[in-house]
Amino acid sequence: MAFFLLLLPAAGLLYRKACSAQDTTGHRLLRDTALRAVEVAAQRQAASFSASSPVQLLDSAQLSALGARSVAGAARYFAGVLVKDYGGIGGLKTVSVRSLGAAHTGVLYDGLPLSDAQNGQIDLGRLTTDNLSQLTLYNAQPPDMLQPAAAYSMATVLSLTTRRPAFAKGHSLKGEAALEGGAFGLLQPSATLQYGWSPRGYSTLSAGWQQAEGKYPFTLQNGDSLQKKHRENSDIQALRLEYDTRYRFSDSSETALKAYFYNARRGLPGAVILYNDRSRQRLDDRDFFIQAGWRKRFSPQSRLQVSGKYEASYKRYLDPDFLNSEGHMENRYRQKTYYLSGTWSYRLRPFLTLAYGSDIMANTLDASLPDFVYPTRFTWLNNLAAAFSWQRLDIRANMLGTLTGDRVKTGPQPQTRKVLSPAAALSWQPRERLPLRLRFFYKSIFRMPTFNDLYYTLIGNTRLRPEFTRQYDMGLSWNPQLQGLLSSLAFTADAYYNTVRDKIIAVPRQNLFQWTMLNAGRVHAKGVDAGARLFFRPLHAFRLTLGGHYSFQEARDVTDPSAPEYGQQLPYTPKHSGALQATIQYKPLTLGYNLLFSGSRYRMGDPIDYNRLPAFVTQDLTLTGRLPAGRGGMWELTAAVDNLFNRQYEIVRYYPMPGRSWRLGLHYRF
């Protein structure tokens, strides 16, 4: 779309010249002369082609074709990603990339990080795709030089970018309203309003509501007997509000403000063991953040970005069946984050750019736990980055310095830590006309133990050390422009090797109700990620796009050679997984087909048949039709069937996933 917008001024100039020119017969062309329309189609080069580290991207059209309503549902289609899903619409959903663990995946929302110092994992099930223009997964870090130092402090980065409106001439208002319903009591109304209050500024307000009973059927197997059951305590009610505003000043500087609010009440579906599927645990979430940023270009060489953020979250966990003297467990958590960031970049030469970023962050946690220490974590990040580009060679390197420490109100004060974390990446195109690039990256990074790891009553261990990871990656990108029916191909393949030192694990202490956290783990992971996307030239009124990926992961515990689990594959890590997507467009109709495959894997315990989870394949269909409405509006009707063949499967042992389900949606855009 941006390509065609850039062509508009040139097209207007050519049109004016044509109106005053003569045709080949010597007659002057008139302004009302009818010219035969010519359709121009071009495919932009894949973003992953020139990147020095692997980049995977889903734009708004691809997200719509996938039919994924949450970020967790969409992230399943990235190579190397494992989604841990406990079932149910309201169940917790986290991702692990290349076997590094969910706590090593950072989430950026419009450029600034989401924080959760309590457990270190962002629940991607609560983040919707409704208002996203792009979802991107970066191994290592994003390539933008003008970004916060926090973006360099994560092993992998999942970046969410909200939509920016483009207003037609003479118009300053755009909007969208949608209503979606489906199986298991699903109801999801949403609305977005975009207002251009100035030629230089706009504001966007987006709201969504979700509710569902979540009582989906599943088959329970006990020995040789099969029994039909319904999932219990899987309901949810959630409200989301987002507000964005941007303004570009005459001096080319730009300011942005974003506010986000999420409030949910949900049931936490429990494990289904033998004939017991009872669960009455409840979780209430209330999350709010406000962030602002300012960018300024002082010269063609110098740029500055300053941003800040305040984030507050509240969680209430209730277990009415917990066996204690009170007859139940009720915990309340209040977490706050204060964040300030500044980054400056300067282009010393056309081929060399330097950047320096500094972030200051403070996290606090208040919990209704006995003998709680009320921790506060202070973190100061300083990052120096360099980018060298010469002809077909691109080299990027950075050094991140981290100073972090906790302060507690009671008990001994934890140790302050200082760590230097280097990273380097290289991308090279051997020949100018050869659509092939080779790449390599190395990154060393660490993560601090979470507040729960350190301070949870009867479980935490204040002597825990950080987890240190090292990542090595070697890959290639091939993006040829082809002749014939296939117009272009985007292919990537990467081989990687990751190590995790001082991995934090939970082990029983006195009994199954008292555990402790230890630095007792070492993990070595190696694998291959390969993906391709094929773009076909239009055939009559048909347009076809195919894409898919395959992942091989071998992640083994190498902690103790004398231990029985030494050399075993990590729990819930399939060696083989993959996905396939196909989109067929015929005039106003678009049909999307999605396939997701996961190989067999083992839960925690010995690798025996009893602990083995079988491989599974799920297939989804999405059909979308568009009809024009008055005054430039558009109606869109969507029908989707998930898990088309009603496959019964589990991602986590004893947590059955939904079988076949359906959704219908009606959208109106103006």
- The SS3 assignment for 53 reads coil
Sign of the alpha-carbon dihedral angle for 63, 128, 84, 289: positive
Is pLDDT of 17 > 60? Answer: no
Topology, domain 55-322+335-669: Maltoporin; Chain A (2.40.170)
Which tokens is 211 given? Answer: 């509710």
C-beta of residue 262 within 8 angstroms of C-beta of residue 272? no
| Burial of residue 396, with CB atoms counted within 10 A of its CB: 0-12 exposed, 13-18 middle, 19 or more buried | buried
Annotated domain spans of the chain: 55-322+335-669
Q: Which amino acid is at 297?
A: R
Q: What is the mean pLDDT of residues 633-655?
A: 91
Say which residue, 137 or 232, is predicted with more confidence. 137
| Residue scoring higher pLDDT (95 or 243) | 243
pLDDT tens digits, residue range 356-379? Answer: 999 999 999 999 988 899 999 999
Alpha carbon dihedral 317, 215, 123, 458, in 10-degree steps, equals 30
Q: What is the CA radius of gyration of the chain?
A: 26
Residue 276: the pLDDT is: 74
CA distance 151 to 340: 13
Nearest to 354 by CA among 320, 388, 330: 388
Chain segment 565-612, per-residue pLDDT in tens? 888 998 889 999 999 999 999 999 999 999 999 999 998 877 888 889
Spatial neighbors of 129 by CB under 8 A, at least 6 apart, are: 63, 68, 69, 70, 71, 73, 74, 135
Q: What is the pLDDT of residues 506-547, one digit of tens each?
A: 765 544 445 677 887 899 999 999 999 999 998 888 999 999
Within 8 A by CB and 6+ apart from 220, the residues are 226, 227, 228, 229, 272, 275, 277, 656
Residue 8 pLDDT greater than 50, yes or no: no
The per-residue pLDDT for 25 is 35
Kindly tell me if the per-residue pLDDT of 247 is higher than 50: yes
Residues 6 or more apart in contact with residue 214 via CB below 8 angstroms: 88, 89, 90, 184, 185, 231, 234, 235, 236, 267, 269
